[in-house]
Amino acid sequence: MGPHKLVMHLRTTFESGKTKPIEYRIEQLKSLKKMLQEKSETISQCLYDDLHKSKHDSILMEIDFCINDIRYTLSHIREWVKPDYPATSVANMLDTVQVLKEPFGVALVIGAWNYPLQLVLGPLIGAISAGNCVVIKPSELAPRTADFLAKNLPEYLDRDAYQVYEGGAAETTELLKERFDYIFYTGSTEVGKIVHAAAAKHLTPTTLELGGKSPVYLDNTADLETAARRILWGKCANAGQTCVAPDYLLCTKEVQQDLVRVCRRVIEEYYGKKPQESGDYGRIVNDRHFRRVTALLEGCKVAVGGETDAGDRYIAPTVLTDVKGDDVIMREEIFGPLLPIVPIRDVAEAIRFINEREKPLAMYIFSNNTRDVDRILRETSAGGVTVNDTIMHLTVNTLPFGGVGGSGMGSYHGRHSFLAFTHEKGVLRKNLGFVGEMLSRARWRLRHFRYPPYTKGKLSYLSVLLRPELVVPTAWLRHALSFGLGMAACYTFLCLYNMRRD
């Protein structure tokens, strides 16, 4: 089926209303969870074939990550879909003000190759929970995982509402010519610009999860042993091919010297003396990316690691020292297991260094100096931050995950995934009856204060009613009116009772 027929088929399904009932959404999410549980071994093998990803990482960072996302969504979805009743102004205090949650329609999810399961299913979970139909475009650079999704998603999900579309750049280009109601893209900044330009032709809203050079700031108040473990874990997971991996490290020369010594020991502890033989260490996804990452090593001062094997697409966990801001390795996102250390004098220089570059997707601060931590948070911008660890902010379902500036736009995870694929429709329900109209009349010749002819008195009255400080909480107003009506009814009953008794 071509892209146009595919989108039209899904649009017909969406317009039928099939995907909107809450029970339907829950059923689809449960089926998706069932697929992950029943096919766990197959998925792990696919991820190993594509990225040499260990079974531990496949389960923890891909399969279970998605299962837990589904569980969290299932436990909250009934609350998320309910209308919100925000506060209203005095002018509308007797009206109903609500925000309805409606799906956009037919969404396109374009996944990335570095986490080829999680970065497809994460947005898909949000799209399903919001009631959308979805075209799923997995990355062709992880072919085994893409093939798994193409074969298995139709077996577990409703084929009339969710379809996998395979292919490379040419197929994706054709797909982007279609009019979608929402596009969710994960990948490089360069391709993100292409996706955004295609979406702009139809004014299609988008979420762009991109990347960037995520900095680490480390000072002498931090415990170096703990910091090194957490930094290297974040850097070396998936052979550095993680969009929020620590990209470079800022510290003083004194800290650098001690850190290198600790890093050498920690790397050996994690992966042995020969990381290439470790079953826990990944590989670069393809030859082109291998050549790109190894080229970044040229001219750098290698303190730890540095070994490469083109035939195996292996690059050792590597620490580089005395890196300068204008070195080649600092000009682009590394997306590999190379950790450049850039010496700085103090926190002020670190802040300037970060702010001179594009806003990163993530930032990591290792310090026990609360004032410095707060200063960095206050004076820099990043998609998300973890203090005294790396990557772990992604595991908090209640936190939004997304970029800012060059690292992306929009956010997801948990409720934020639901909201990403949801249009929040504001609704005001007014009373057309005699009471509603009489309550809004003013003294001026019994004409409504908002209708012509206008007077200074009407303008003053309307200005007061529309003041933002005169906001009435909708929930409080309902309780107050219910209480008042109840008291009035009781009082009327007592009066009638006393009159009858007399």
Q: Per DSSP, what are the bridge partners of residue 429?
A: 96
**Using CA atoms, how far apart are residues 96 and 100, in angstroms rounded to an integer?**
12
Please give the sequence-ordered ranges of beta strands (E in DSSP) within 78-181, or none if there are none.
Answer: 88-89, 96-103, 106-110, 133-137, 162-164
In degrees, rounded to 5, the angle at the alpha carbon of residue 260 between the alpha carbons of residues 295 and 51 is 45
**Using CA atoms, how far apart are residues 11 and 5, in angstroms rounded to an integer?**
10
- Do residues 341 and 325 touch, judged by C-beta distance below 8 A? no
- Any idea which residue has 């991820």 for tokens? 47
Please give the sequence-ordered ranges of beta strands (E in DSSP) within 170-274, or none if there are none.
Answer: 182-186, 206-209, 215-218, 248-251
Q: Which of 243, 251, 263, 300 is catalytic?
A: 243
> Residue 353's closest CA among 371, 391, 327?
327
Helix, strand and coil in the chain, % to nearest 5: 50, 15, 35
As a three-state string, the secondary structure of 47-80 is HHHHHCCCHHHHHHHHHHHHHHHHHHHHHHHHHH
CB under 8 Å to 102, separation ≥6 — which residues?
131, 422, 423, 425
Burial of 184 (0-12, 13-18, 19+ CB in 10 A): buried
- Do residues 231 and 214 touch, judged by C-beta distance below 8 A? no
**Using CA atoms, how far apart are residues 413 and 384, in angstroms rounded to an integer?**
13
Q: Which of 209, 263, 333, 358 is catalytic?
A: 209
Please give the sequence-ordered ranges of beta strands (E in DSSP) within 10-131, or none if there are none.
Answer: 88-89, 96-103, 106-110
CB under 8 Å to 236, separation ≥6 — which residues?
267, 270, 271, 281, 317, 337
Q: Is 495 a catalytic residue?
A: no
Q: Is 66 a catalytic residue?
A: no
> Residue 330's closest CA among 362, 357, 291, 294?
357
Q: Per DSSP, what are the bridge partners of residue 206?
A: 183
Please name the helix (run of DSSP H) or strand (run of DSSP E) that holds residue 340, with its range, or none: strand 338-343
Burial of 269 (0-12, 13-18, 19+ CB in 10 A): exposed
Catalytic residues: 209, 243
